[in-house]
Structure 1
Amino acid sequence: MSVTSITPKNQNLLWAISGGRCEYEGCNKILHTDILTKKRYNSAYIAHIVADKPDGPRGDIVRSKLLCDNISNLMLLCNEHHNLIDKVDVKGHPESRLLVMKQQHEERIKRITNIAPNMSSEIILYGANIGVNNSPLSYQSANEALLYDYYPASDYPIELGYKNASLTDDMDAYWITEEANLFTQFNLKIKPRLMQGSTDHYSVFAIAPQPLLIKFGVLLNDLNNVKVYQKHREPSTWKWQTASSDIEYILREPDDKTKVPVLVFSLSATVTYDRIQKTLGDNTSIWEITISGAPHNDFLKTEALLSDFRRTVRHAFDKIKSYHGYTGLHIFPAMPVSASVELGRVWMPKVDMPMTIYDANKEKNDFYKTITIK
């Protein structure tokens, strides 16, 4: 039991630097609002890391008196964790561990509140079934990826996906239904904002078959204020990484540029040319964008690498058109989700060649035609 009366100044300061949340690691519970009733009341406890009396939890004959009203020795806790550190498991909560909890929590609150007021972003979630697997998107994971550059503009995301869809991507009806739903949802939930001249910032999180992601990117094309995120495998996060990369994109040109133009993306996996010829025949001029080193499904770690991809695609579109004119371009993609969306965003409807997009599917015995974009 505390014997010290914490000064109002330090009480207020602790509430401010903790964000009014429990500072115990992994808790983060709001301490000024009831979770169920949403009524406002104070459910916080101000705990001493070093007890304010020598015989208290982590008490010290000299330091207890010195630190009894020192902000560096105080933690804001919920009832459960206050009881845990002072009664239930004192030995499991030494001073060193509690200091780390306090530091990490308060640094996180500081970083979050340092985000400028104009850095709000609307979260867009777009998901569609890949095979028999549902899209694993969540507002929480998207929210975590935004920090510490933006903060969510709303408590709810803009969701464009077709929930509880029974169709799978080996069915022709799947592509008709999903493309129509995407178009409808986009026109209903996002296009009105554009028509009103909205300058909102949008953060895009999408997991779907690549042809649908490309179509989604086409719809987003006029939306300049967009940041597209990538789901990484290692570490498992949507947040863009900061590590530098020596990966470069390579545009390979066909020797014969007089046949039907094909653009292959061998990025997350290698697409061999015999697979294209199996689908379209031998009368093809195959262009290919790949990366230095072996293609793999977790290479796209940084925003800079995604920007490089956009430039490479723009250059490829212009060069292919210079040889083949405005005839249709056949797209065979094996690439990350963010690259698929950006491919659609790079494509310009008034300038670029129409695209016919193929998808690889075991049930269809490899690549088959899905969506045409004109």
Structure 2
Amino acid sequence: MSVTSISSKNKNLLWAVSAGRCEYAGCNKVLHTDILTNKKCNSAYIAHIVGDESTGPRGDVKRSKLLANDINNLMLLCDTHHRMVDADEITYTESYLLEMKRQHEERIKRITDIAPNMSSEIILYGANIGVNNSPLSYQSANEALLYDYYPASDYPIELGYKNASLTDDMDAYWITEEANLFTQFNLKIKPRLMQGNTDHYSVFAIAPQPLLIKFGVLLNDLNNVKVYQKHREPSTWKWQTASSDIEYILREPDDKTKVPVLVFSMSATVTYDRIQKALGNNTSIWEITINGAPNNDFLKTEALLSDFRRTVRHAFDKIKSYHGYTGLHIFPAMPVSASVELGRVWMPKVDMPMTIYDANKEKNDFYMTITIK
């Protein structure tokens, strides 16, 4: 128990830098409001990292008195964690607690550094993939926004069709899901555009690739859009900052006089015999892939997604220059964010109509799903 009378200045400063939340790693409990009654209260304890008495927790004969009223030696804690850190000096060493304090206060600083105009509406779009429901949540999306944006609302804009009983091996699935996506978009997002709304949107989507491409087509008119990618390692939606040596490769067919096909071999390899199985041999197969082996977790950075947009734009223009304004058959095996951006890159008044295929073992491989004109 503290015997030092901590100055009002340092008490106020500690409340400010901690944002009135418990600084114990992983707790973050609000200490100024009762979670049950929502009434204002003070449930905080100000704890000394180096005890203010030499005989106290982590106490020192010389340093205890010197640091007793030092803001750098104080932590704001809830009752539970205040008791824990004082009862176990072996686990809760001075260096351990200082690191907790540093991480918490740096996080609060980064969050509060976000400019007032950097709000973003969160859009969640999910549809069943096989028998699996879409694992989207507002909380995980919220975490991915920080520290660039803050949520514009306590609730996301949800476009998915909840409790859908259909699966993606049924023809009715594609008709129903495409219609629902179109309807939800027109109800929840299009009115904002009609009113000249310039909100920023953060997009989180998990669905079969043809639907993601369609979703991207609908988003086309939204300029202030940031599309996120679900990573496996680490398990997060937040874009990573590590540099990458990944490059996109556009492979052209030798014979450019047949039915045009654009294959995306990025998250997995799509062999040409699978294309011919669906369309026959009268095909000119173009392909966008990556250097190295295709894999489902390569798209780690926003820069790579921007590179993908440029590659697709170049491919659309080049294919059209050879084949004219005819139908383009799309066979995708790529990350979810790339699927959405493919749709956003496509321009309805300029680009070739797209017929999109989906791989499904119940349908014995690729089969036609959605046409975009």
Into which bin does the TM-score normalised by the smaller protein fall? Answer: over 0.9
2 CA distance for matches of 1:275 and 1:293? 21
The match for 1:112 is 111
The match for 2:11 is 11
- Structure 2, unmatched stretches of 5+, are none
Give the structure-2-normalised TM-score: 0.98
- Give the secondary-structure state (helix, strand or coil) at the position aligned to 1:262: strand
Return the offset for 1:91: 2.9
Counterpart of 1:282, as a letter, is N
The match for 1:207 is 206
Return the offset for 1:312: 0.7
CA contact (8 A) 1:84 1:90 kept: no
2 CA distance for matches of 1:68 and 1:206? 51
Aligned residue runs from structure 1 range 1-374, under 5 A: 1-87=1-87, 89-374=88-373
Identity %: 89
Number of aligned residue pairs: give it: 373
- Give the secondary-structure state (helix, strand or coil) at the position aligned to 1:299: coil
2 CA distance for matches of 1:46 and 1:3? 12
1 CA distance for matches of 2:301 and 2:2? 50
2 CA distance for matches of 1:320 and 1:76? 62
Counterpart of 1:6, as a letter, is I
1:36-77 Cα shifts (integer Å, max 9, x gaps):
221111111111111111221111121111111100110000
1 CA distance for matches of 2:84 and 2:208? 48
CA contact (8 A) 1:123 1:152 kept: yes
Return the offset for 1:92: 2.1
CA contact (8 A) 1:310 1:343 kept: yes
- Give the secondary-structure state (helix, strand or coil) at the position aligned to 2:185: helix
Return the offset for 1:220: 0.2
Return the offset for 1:90: 3.5
Return the offset for 1:189: 0.9
CA contact (8 A) 1:251 1:289 kept: yes
- Give the secondary-structure state (helix, strand or coil) at the position aligned to 2:96: helix
1 CA distance for matches of 2:316 and 2:90? 65
2 CA distance for matches of 1:294 and 1:41? 57
2 CA distance for matches of 1:257 and 1:308? 25
2 CA distance for matches of 1:259 and 1:36? 68
Counterpart of 1:54, as a letter, is S
- Give the secondary-structure state (helix, strand or coil) at the position aligned to 2:256: coil
2 CA distance for matches of 1:372 and 1:86? 65
Give the structure-1-normalised TM-score: 0.98
